[in-house]
Amino acid sequence: MIGVKSGISEKIKNIIFYIFVFVILVVLSQNYLLFHAYAEVFSIVIAAFMFIITWNARAFFDNRYLYFIGLSYLFVANMDFLHTLGYSGMNVFQDYDYHANQLWIVSRFIESGSFLIGFFLIKRKKWINTTFILIIYALISMVFILWILVFNSFPTCFVPGEGQTTFKIISELVIIAVLLLCLYLLRRNRSLFQKEVYHSLKISFILTIISEFFFTVYIDNYGISNLMGHFAKIVSFYLIYRAIIKMGIKEPYKVIFNNLNRKKRELERLNEEKIQLFSIVAHDLRNPFNGLINSARFLHEDYEKLGEAEKRDFLEMLYASSKKLYSITENLLEWSRINLSSTQLSPVKIDLDEILSEAIDYFTLMLNHKEISVRKENFEGCTVLADRGSLSIVFRNVLSNAIKFSYPNSVISINCLKLDDDIAIEFMDKGVGMSREKMEQLSGNLIKSSQGTSKEKGTGLGINIIKKHLELNEGEMEIFSKENIGTTVRIILKSGESI
């Protein structure tokens, strides 16, 4: 309810503002020169503020369109100021009485042209070069000022007693056509604007078109069409000013606070994971260390008394404990790297058959020990776009889990499926599978490790590592499992054919 009241209050404020401005303009229109100066100065102040806000909030702007428009309004304000000084009766430029309408047309061309150019910059990956934009606009403004005020050679736009020239009318129609195109482009790009900003821009464009229409049909610089045109112009300027205020000041602070809250939640998550991680590691490290110490002690103290078979058993225990410690340490280091630092990836086109073969070779001893075979299907010409090292870590962790939970003398099938623009790699084992409760635990970042079919232990870090690396590679993971039947892990990545 509070939000609704706030929204109604804002609308009422705007309506009161528009009525106030309109009444002031009507009252001032009794002295048309005063009315014109008031209307133009009002617009100039708004335009100048647009530039000031844009310039000072440039570090926060993420909407290229509004940023570009905000910069351009400095030069619109400059031309409108000169137009105001050149208006008939101001007596600033006494040598020539046609400057006001000429400067008006130039100002409107700069304004509408900026609206249009902004749409070609909105999706540009590289940020706008502010210095370059300001220099270009300054040069364009200087050329037109010299053309109009110094050389007096710009086409005449209005002749007292006769009205607007053909050049002026055609120019206004061209400006209207440009604004109609801007309306079309705004609608096509509406997803890039917040709802409130989108509607402010849309209404502003419509009012600017109405304003230009009034300035197309008037025959007297002091007529009613001129008055209505200026009113529409003021409101259109104000609406764009509101859009820039929202994106340049209100939204950046909202974004800053949202980012701070997100960082806070992320730190809380990492702290919770760290505590859980230390608990898991402390427990899981104890057994392999005990195995190492006890095996090494027996070999050291009773080496001469032990038979060859007993020595071999102790050596196998040493090997198994060392390998387990290495696996825990490797996963711990990888978890730390991807969670506590900024990992940079280099996506390249990768042959899946090649990288999977490397992962399978890595687990040759484990596969042989459990007498598990791996069958690959449909990998001919199957490529993905990903970071090679990162993808290798994903495949090794997925395959490690498949081996761990597969029954001895079983088969792990790995299939490649070509989707529209993606590739799906499915790892299917015929192992213990997972219960519904266990599947629900997978949504967390750390899960309690379960023993494998040969009593293998883990740290519970594997799922976290897989998720993080897939996220960095813009990939996804889906898991399907039935208890005592098996598990299918589907990895979805961008196809290498998309580059």
Lowest mean pLDDT among 2-11, 143-152, 322-331, 408-417: 2-11
Q: Render 92-106 in DSSP notation, one character per residue.
A: SSTT-S-HHHHHHHH
Instruction: Give Cβ neighbours of residue 45 (< 8 Å, ≥ 6 apart).
Output: none
Residue 54 pLDDT level (bands cut at 50, 70, 90)? confident
Report whether 436 contacts 399 (CB < 8 A): no
**Cα–Cα dist 235/41, whole Å:** 13
**Cα–Cα dist 50/244, whole Å:** 7
| Mean pLDDT along residues 232-259 | 73
Q: Render 122-180 in DSSP notation, one character per residue.
A: TT-SSPP-HHHHHHHHHHHHHHHHIIIIIS--SPP-EETTTEE-HHHHHHHHHHHHHHH
Query: Two tokens at 286?
Result: 């104890």
Q: Partners of 417 in the beta sheet? A: 424
Q: Partners of 418 in the beta sheet? A: 423
Residue 75 pLDDT level (bands cut at 50, 70, 90)? very high
Q: What angle do CA 416, 421, 426 make, to 5 degrees?
A: 20
Whether the per-residue pLDDT at 446 is higher than 60: the answer is no
Q: Give 121: exposed, middle or buried? Use CB within 10 Å, 0-12, 13-18, 19+.
A: middle
Whether the per-residue pLDDT at 34 is higher than 90: the answer is no
Place of tokens 């934009």: 133
pLDDT at 247: 63
pLDDT at 7: 47
**Cα–Cα dist 347/465, whole Å:** 18
pLDDT at 98: 80
Instruction: Give Cβ neighbours of residue 17 (< 8 Å, ≥ 6 apart).
Output: 238
C-beta neighbour count of 279 within 10 angstroms: 12
Greater confidence (223 vs 3) lies with 223
Give the mean pLDDT of the chain: 81
Q: Which long-range contacts (CB under 8 A, 24 or more apart) does 180-187 make?
A: 180/209, 181/116, 182/112, 182/115, 182/116, 182/119, 183/209, 185/116, 185/119, 186/119
Strands 422-429 and 383-386, bridge-based pairing: unpaired
Greater confidence (9 vs 475) lies with 475
Q: What percent of the chain has pLDDT over 70?
A: 81
pTM of the model: 0.53
Lowest mean pLDDT among 287-301, 330-344, 393-407: 330-344
Whether the per-residue pLDDT at 289 is higher than 80: the answer is no
Whether the per-residue pLDDT at 69 is higher than 80: the answer is yes
| Mean pLDDT along residues 409-428 | 90
**Cα–Cα dist 407/403, whole Å:** 8
Lowest mean pLDDT among 232-246, 254-268, 342-356: 254-268
